[in-house]
Structure 1
Amino acid sequence: MTPKFHNRKKELAVIAAVSLFILLFLIIAGCTQNSSSTNSAGSSGAVASVSSGVNSSFYTIRANVNKDCSGTPWYVGVMKGYFVSGGINFVDAGALDWSLQPAALVSGQTDVVDEHPNTLIDLKLAGANVTGVALSGQEPPEGDISEYHMQWLVLNSSPYYTIQDLVANGHKPKIAVGALGICADLENNAWFRANNLSNTSFQYVIMPDPQQEAALRSGQIDVAVLHPPFYTAAEKHGGVRVITTSYDAFGPQAGTTLLVFRDADIQEHPDDVRAFIKAYKNAERWSDNHLTESGILTAGVIGLSNATPHYYSQSGAITDDEIQPWIDAMVADGDIAPGQFKPSDLYTTEFSDTWVNETAVNGPDPVDPFPSLEKSTYD
């Protein structure tokens, strides 16, 4: 049994989280075009239109695909045919703010999300019956800064070269993050904590990644915390430099994300979940092994001149070591109690047979089912 954390502040936070998810469900149910709560084909999303002709013998997976760093596996999965060859009808349910995507999963509007462990913990705190089935994102080996999960950027003209510079003379830097309760703020908190600084030493400015570069250049913020491809684009534009990275701030688990499904689907459709994992992981392996092409493909879709895709786990194997640092960071931030969660609470080993390097990673690519498809068609 999970030990109860006797802290009124935390109890109120959990109650608020449950209320929030109920509210988000109502919002999403009223706003999304796919109102079905069953697993049926059909969507207004871009991939669905590209994939014309739904195969009735395939299982349908719906997901929200944003035009940002998270989109690469979806683009590759469609354009290189991994979903079709894996027996999956993939339906793009349309772009949706990251803060709403977990609620879309819980409410049945979508079937899978790719999230960091802290988001999965937040869902479980809110009473959601969801579980990780495979490792998706992973921090690359130390040294290749261009593939790290995030970079903290400052202006070249700024006096900031170290974290101590940021807080010198009582300065309280404005640090932009896409939202609170995500990877950016959790890892930034850890960076400050590791340098014996508290989260009162800075001020968060909530701002989507695509807006942060302009805000940094105009002086509205001191630090932009960016994912690829946005840090790649900012650096190509010049005038900025890296003050730290996700690897330096959080270590080798900084890029950890899990593919998350509802428990009901895991229990009722295990073979279909397994087929999706294989298809999605094959798309991620292709991206890892064709970084230039996957970057060009991603840039074309989201409208940037340059893009760097995220780095993904080749095997998909979930380990306690990948998750524990996230739990430790949430404990340090006061979000959960010591011992309240252990890594195995967040994932199942039911699909460990998919946690291998499959599909000729170094061999020929699959036949492209859409040979006439232009990269910009994903609109």
Structure 2
Amino acid sequence: MATTASNRRQFLSLLGLSAVAVSCGTTATGAPAGESGTRTLRYQGWAGQVILPELAEDLGYLEDVKLEWVGNTISGPQDIQSAATGQTDFGGAFNGAVVKLAANNAPVKAVISYYGADRYAYNGFYVLEDSPIRSARDLIGKKVGMNTLGAHSEAMLDIYLQRGGLSRAQIGKVEPLVVPPVSTEQTLRQKQIDVAVLGGILRDKALATGGIRPLFTDHRLLGSFSAGTYVMTERFLRQNPGTARTFVTGVGRAIEWSRSTPREEVIARMTDIVTKRGRNEDTAPLRYWRSYGVAETAGRITGEELQLWIDWLARRGDIRKGQVRSSDLYTNEYNAAGRGDAAPSPASSSASKSGS
């Protein structure tokens, strides 16, 4: 765990990939694909949650492209590292992690935004109701539980502490700890940590239980913004342009479907997806879902959401000024959604038929 200022300077160390390792990525078939490419995409999911590609597939928006689940993750940096090294075909992470991955010479491109912060979808830093912690300075010497280090939550914590007037030495005395998301609320209530980072359905479930209060949230800190993108390797995009276009456009359409569809119907659909995949997951927290929080139409990337973290990482000294350019990090070429294309009607399912 990062317990000193020195260790904290290893921010995003999960992404210290060598160019050689990254260049060894393969297609989903395990060998270079021909012009026709693969129509199967390997990916990692999140326990108890429905990620946008899973929603897109269930809606029929991925057409003949199939998803192949290879396991779950709780870490964005780990997820995009897996994509960069060819263990999976796409991965998603906080945009600061994407920037750092590119700075380590990984030939990847961000292709679509998939999560963000708005008034419904945000990560909050919560303390117990009777906690003496009221300000950034009160966090010195305290433990903050989050899903992974070197990603969204640690970046938000760092910005909050900086704005609170703490020096780098003082910031180094705040201890971020990795706690599985499904255990974070319980870990806070048992006082094993002082602050818990909670988001989405897990946050709303904890708030419904009561006894906690927010110290701050990323939405209060930075307003509404797209926070993370899915990436694919440049090699995969060259070899499988049609598959990439179907995937990205389908995810974009799923974003817009989730915005325009009654919340109860979205939740019913998600519940049906989780139930059908048979991974022994609790579907109860899904009823708290409200939004994916993506700021732009169909998840299209503007570049500003990446430039924010390029500048921030450069100020921290994690990357050199001018080392990466936002225009080199992303492409909207594969996203036909949001350009006036008509979205296909969702495929029928028991969830959509149930109304609710």
TM-score interval (norm. to shorter) = 0.7 to 0.9
Contact kept, 8 Å, 1:186 with 1:330, in 2: the verdict is no
Aligned to 2:145: 176
**1:311 paired residue among 293, 298, 317:** 293
Q: Give the drift of 1:79.
A: 2.8
User: Aligned in 2, Cα 1:265/1:212: closer, same or farther, shift over 3 Å?
Assistant: same
Which residue of 114, 117, 133 maps to 2:111?
133
Shift of 1:262: 0.9
Indicate the residue corresponding to 2:323 in structure 1. Answer: 340
Q: What is the count of residue pairs matched by the alignment?
A: 328
**Aligned-pair CA distance for 1:120:** 1.7
| 1:100 has 2:72 as partner | no
Q: Relative to 1, partners in 2 of residues 1:297 and 1:303: Cα closer, same or farther, differing over 3 Å?
A: farther
User: Alignment partner for residue 87 of structure 1, among 64, 69, 75?
Assistant: 64
2:277 match: none
Equivalent residue runs for 1:199-238 within 5 Å: 199-238=171-210
Unpaired runs of 5+ residues, structure 1, are 1-9, 41-55
User: 1:17 corresponds to which residue?
Assistant: 16
State the percentage of identical aligned residues: 22
Which amino acid in 1 is paired with 2:124?
Answer: Q
**Counterpart in the other structure of 1:5:** none
TM-align CA RMSD: 3.7
Instruction: State the Cα distance separating 1:372 from its structure 2 match.
Output: 8.2
1:158 is aligned, of 111, 123, 131, to 131
Helix, strand or coil for the counterpart of 1:133?
strand
TM-score (norm 2): 0.79
In 1: Cα distance, 2:314 partner to 2:336 partner? 32
| 1:57 positional shift | 10
After superposition, the Cα gap between the structure-2 partners of 1:335 and 1:220, relative to the gap in structure 1 and judged at 3 Å, is same
Note if contact 1:233-1:305 (Cα within 8 Å) is conserved in structure 2: no
- Structure 2: distance between partners of 1:226 and 1:112: 25
CA contact (8 A) 1:134 1:259 kept: yes
**C-alpha displacement of 1:373:** 10
Pair 1:251–1:286, CA change in 2 (3 A): same
* Structure 1 residue 333: Cα displacement: 2.8
3-state secondary structure, aligned to 2:100: helix
* CA distance in 1: counterparts of 2:23 and 2:32, whole angstroms: 17
Q: What residue identity is the alignment partner of 2:42?
A: R
* 1:127 maps to amino acid: N
Secondary structure in 2 matching 1:236: helix
Alignment-mate amino acid for residue 126 of structure 1: N
Aligned residue for 2:217?
245
**Quick one: structure 1 residues 35 and 247, their matched pair in 2 at CA, closer, same or farther if it must change by over 3 Å?**
closer
Distance 1:294 1:75, change over 3 A: farther
* Residue type at the aligned position of 1:311: G
3-state DSSP of counterpart to 1:256: strand
> Are 2:269 and 2:351, in contact at CA under 8 Å, matched by a contact in 1?
no
**Given that residues 131 and 261 in structure 1 are in contact (C-alpha distance below 8 angstroms), is that contact kept between their aligned partners in structure 2?**
yes
1:183 Cα offset (Å): 0.6
Residue in structure 2 matched with residue 186 of structure 1 by the alignment: 155
* 1:275 counterpart = 2:252: no
Q: Is the 8 A contact 2:188 2:196 kept in 1?
A: yes
Where structure 2 has 5 or more consecutive residues not aligned to the other structure, the ranges are: 1-8, 275-280
State the AA in 2 paired with 1:211: S
More strand, by proportion: 2
Compared with structure 1, are the counterparts of its residues 320 and 227 closer, same or farther at alpha carbon in structure 2 (3 Å cutoff)? same
TM-score, normalization: structure 1?
Answer: 0.74
Report runs of 4+ in structure 1 exceeding 6 Å deviation. 13-16, 372-375
Q: Is the 8 A contact 2:15 2:100 kept in 1?
A: no
Contact between 2:95 and 2:228, CA under 8 Å: does it hold in 1? yes
Contact 1:274 1:354 in 2 (8 A): no
Offset, 1:268: 2.2
Corresponding residue of 2:96: 118
Question: Hey, what's the Cα distance between the residues in 1 that align with 2:86 and 2:230?
Answer: 16
**Is the partner of 2:116 in helix, strand or coil?**
coil
Q: Distance in 2 between matches of 1:65 and 1:14?
A: 22
1:162 Cα offset (Å) = 3.6
1:273 deviates by: 0.9
Report how far residue 241 of structure 1 moved.
Answer: 1.6
Alpha-carbon distance in 1 for matches of 2:345, 2:14: 49
* Deviations, residues 68-87 of structure 1 (Å, cap 9, x unaligned): 55x3313422332222xx33
Q: Give the SS at the match of 1:324.
A: helix
Structural mapping, 1:321-360, within 5 Å: 321-351=304-334, 353-356=336-339, 358-359=341-342
